[in-house]
Structure 1
Amino acid sequence: MPAIVHRLAVAATVVAFALSTAACTDASPRPTAAAAQTAAAPIFASDEEALAAAEEAYSAYLGALDVVGSRGGTDTELLTEVATSKVREDLEASFEAMQTAGVHTGGATVGTLRELVENALVGRTAVVSVYACLNVANVRVFDASGNDVTPAGRPAVTPHQVTMESRSEGSPHLLVSESEVWRGDDFCS
């Protein structure tokens, strides 16, 4: 395999992995938001309302990732409206790798929320955690010549636990603050 094709294949694998595991973190134990709840009035009146807000936020997040990917990793400022600064920083390396490799994506990522894990209030910040299935079956990776360099064997659907938090204190507008690949039983199959 010529060196340039090999580098593109490697970059495409990195990009596809980054998009399918965007903002992943390790699954090490951490305190839950429930432990830090206060007596403040809830931001969401019900779990159904929290789940609806999470669905809207996750859809907007995936849409922004698709736009940035389709532009070859540029215009990352689009992520400001959908992700925390920590998540945006984590994604920067993946998008820089796309730019270096000269690849871009096409297609739409689909996220399906399976279950609400947590709807909590930490101070005046809503924290909502969900189980989600991330489907990248319709997302392809293309090189600068338009050749499909999507890695063969890439999982089409992966289970994730996604956590979102209020954009600002007391706000029902959620930003993705963490997304980690779920290592337990695959609830997406």
Structure 2
Amino acid sequence: MPAELGPPTKSARPAAKSGFSSDEAALAAASRAYGRYLEVLDGLSAPEDVGRLGEVATPDYAEELESSLAGLLSEGRRFEGQSSFDSMRVFERWSQRGVEFVSTYVCFDSSGVRVLDASGADVTPPDRIDRLPAVVRFQSAPDDRWRLIAKGSDAWRGNDFCN
């Protein structure tokens, strides 16, 4: 998709290929999953906490997140506050071998989160962009086809649909 275009407004795959009955049903499951995912991320305060990522992310994605957060947490840094999201839209959904996959556009908002160092001082970068458009991918949890977990997240490279 050319960068000058915004994200599509309809699902890119036909509903018949998804176990979810509609984009709305997939969106509800993805919204619940992303809310749980952000809650876990916001609650990380020590290196031993990263194991909780396995509750809300696929093993590969949890490992990727653990690697990127390990240095921050081992330095005694932690997060305080709550991140949020809005404007989530499903752009792709499908089933494969009994596993549901959903891809979404979302506006991630970190304005409610501060990064603190070991002494409790606020070390949040002053130039941090608090509201970012992102593509977030989900798949079924191993124990429940209808409960989604995060599979990956990337910054959106097209027009900023969050502002």
TM range (shorter): 0.7 to 0.9
Structure 1 unaligned spans of 5+? 1-32
Q: TM-score, normalised by structure 2?
A: 0.85
Match of residue 146, structure 1, among 107, 110, 120: 120
Match of residue 26, structure 2, among 15, 35, 50: 50
Distance apart, 1:67 and its partner CA: 0.8
Contact preservation (8 Å) 2:103, 2:138: yes
- The two structures, once aligned, show a CA RMSD in angstroms of 2.2
Any residues of structure 2 matched to 1:12-51 within 5 Å, and which?
42-51=18-27
Contact preservation (8 Å) 1:116, 1:130: yes
Contact preservation (8 Å) 1:104, 1:141: yes
In the comparison of the two structures, how many residue pairs are matched? 152
1:162 equivalenced with 2:136 (yes/no): yes
1:121 equivalenced with 2:91 (yes/no): no
Contact preservation (8 Å) 1:126, 1:170: no
> If each structure's strand is expressed as a fraction of its own residues, which one has the higher value?
2
Distance apart, 1:34 and its partner CA: 5.0
> If each structure's helix is expressed as a fraction of its own residues, which one has the higher value?
1
Match of residue 76, structure 1, among 38, 50, 65: 50
Structure 2 unaligned spans of 5+? 1-11
Stretches of 4+ moved more than 6 A in 1?
A: none
Distance apart, 1:95 and its partner CA: 2.2
1:96 equivalenced with 2:47 (yes/no): no
Aligned-residue identity in percent: 38
1:70-93: per-residue Cα shift (whole Å, max 9, x none)? x13431221122100111111112
Distance apart, 1:170 and its partner CA: 6.8
Q: Distance in 2 between matches of 1:168 and 1:100?
A: 30
